[in-house]
Structure 1
Amino acid sequence: MPTRVLIADDHAIVRSGLTLLINSQPDMEVVGAAMDGKEAVDLSLELQPDIVLMDLSMPPGENGLTATKKLKEAAPEINVLILTMHDDEEYLFRVLHAGASGYILKNAKDMELIRAIQTVSQGAAYLYPSATKMLIQEFLNRVQKGEQLEDYHILTQREQEVLSLIAQGYTNKEIAEKLVLSVKTIESHKANIMEKLHLKTRPELVRYALKKGLLDFV
């Protein structure tokens, strides 16, 4: 049985080119194409492809990161391979947190994309070489700083909620109203978060939340 692929990209010419490339492989076939994230999720649930080749940015429709989260929640057995122009650490961490099985750049060679699809179809993860280096460097940086690799999980559920809202720009008063708590309690949670994560400033907190995928993709 060939690997069934669904393509999601907002550019028709890109969808056509990818379709020709993938269909030229004897063990692959394109079963559908979508022009934004919402259509990608809807078609995936209908067609049940093995892999969704998902563009990260598809304006003005729903973006690929949001679609990946929704798709993995609804159909975790469908693998997602992100295809993007963004060679950036922050995008990489968001993509992995969303549940994607791979991340490849749009300027990759044709056969590299084919290898990525094959790798993901076999149940393994695929990252382009510089992305692997990013992950290794991040790991080393955190070890050097004495951080726990699973430090986010030492936060209580309430602290995780507060962290996410702080990072999204809400004030202590607004967070207190949202969670039906006192401002003093929110300040206490914030202090505990900073201490547990070894953070000192709000920008550090926002960067941490971004890497953990706690902020919506924009």
Structure 2
Amino acid sequence: MNPIKLLIIDEHPAVRQALVVRLRSAGHLSIVAVDDNLREGLHHAQELLPHIVLLGLSTRKEPPYSLIDVVRKLAAANQGVIVLTSFVDVVEREVLLQAGARRYLLKNINSNRLIAELEAVANEIKPEEST
């Protein structure tokens, strides 16, 4: 199995570090970059071509339309977007899923379930890669 390449974007250093520690335990996941803002994250997504982008929502320093635009760009590039949030906002969830996010999950998800979701999204985007 080829490694699943991941990009992590979250403004909180503790969250970024926790995700790195949790996901490094799975040998088939390769974290290609870790960023603290959408601009750098989008740059790394275009440059490093990760299979999946873990996009953490927090205090939203950036305007919501920027987030939607980033999700659309990543989805158009066949990069699976998994949004991680501290609390569920039904409207936000629907808008981001319609923009192309594959999952909208709570940040307190356990490691095994998060890894399972990453694997599922990787499998969802594979058929599109071969076309």
**What TM-score do the two structures reach when normalised by structure 1?**
0.52
User: Where is the strand percentage greater, Structure 1 or Structure 2?
Assistant: 2
Given candidates 44, 66, 70, the residue that maps to 2:69 is 66
1:122 partner SS? helix
Superposed displacement of residue 88, structure 1: 2.6
**Structure 1 CA distance for aligned equivalents of residues 71 and 34 of structure 2:** 15
Larger CA deviation: 12-21 vs 55-64 = 55-64
**Structure 2 CA distance for aligned equivalents of residues 4 and 23 of structure 1:** 12
Letter in 2 for 1:3: I
Deviation per residue, 1:29-51 (Å, 9 max, x gap): 11101111121111100000010
Deviation per residue, 1:112-144 (Å, 9 max, x gap): 1111111111117xxxxxxxxxxxxxxxxxxxx
**Structure 2 CA distance for aligned equivalents of residues 105 and 55 of structure 1:** 9
The yes-or-no answer on 1:91 pairing with 2:92 is: yes
**Structure 1 CA distance for aligned equivalents of residues 68 and 58 of structure 2:** 8
Specify the alignment match of 2:129 in structure 1. Answer: none
User: Where is the helix percentage greater, Structure 1 or Structure 2?
Assistant: 1
Give me the CA root mean square deviation: 1.8
Letter in 2 for 1:93: E
Specify the alignment match of 1:6 in structure 2. Answer: 7
Residues 53, 82 of structure 1: 8 Å contact kept: yes
**Structure 2 CA distance for aligned equivalents of residues 21 and 103 of structure 1:** 18
**Structure 2 CA distance for aligned equivalents of residues 38 and 70 of structure 1:** 12
Specify the alignment match of 2:38 in structure 1. Answer: 37
**Structure 2 CA distance for aligned equivalents of residues 38 and 62 of structure 1:** 12
Q: 1:70–1:62: structure 2 CA closer, same or farther, 3 Å change rule?
A: farther
Deviation per residue, 1:147-179 (Å, 9 max, x gap): xxxxxxxxxxxxxxxxxxxxxxxxxxxxxxxxx
Superposed displacement of residue 58, structure 1: 5.5
Residues 38, 62 of structure 1: 8 Å contact kept: no
Specify the alignment match of 2:17 in structure 1. Answer: 16
- Gaps of at least 5 residues in structure 1 are 125-218
Specify the alignment match of 1:213 in structure 2. Answer: none
- Gaps of at least 5 residues in structure 2 are 126-131
Residues 56, 65 of structure 1: 8 Å contact kept: no
Letter in 2 for 1:82: V
**Structure 1 CA distance for aligned equivalents of residues 11 and 63 of structure 2:** 10
Q: 1:62–1:42: structure 2 CA closer, same or farther, 3 Å change rule?
A: farther
Specify the alignment match of 2:113 in structure 1. Answer: 112
Q: 1:2–1:53: structure 2 CA closer, same or farther, 3 Å change rule?
A: same
The yes-or-no answer on 1:26 pairing with 2:27 is: yes
**What TM-score do the two structures reach when normalised by structure 2?**
0.83
Superposed displacement of residue 81, structure 1: 0.7
Letter in 1 for 2:109: A
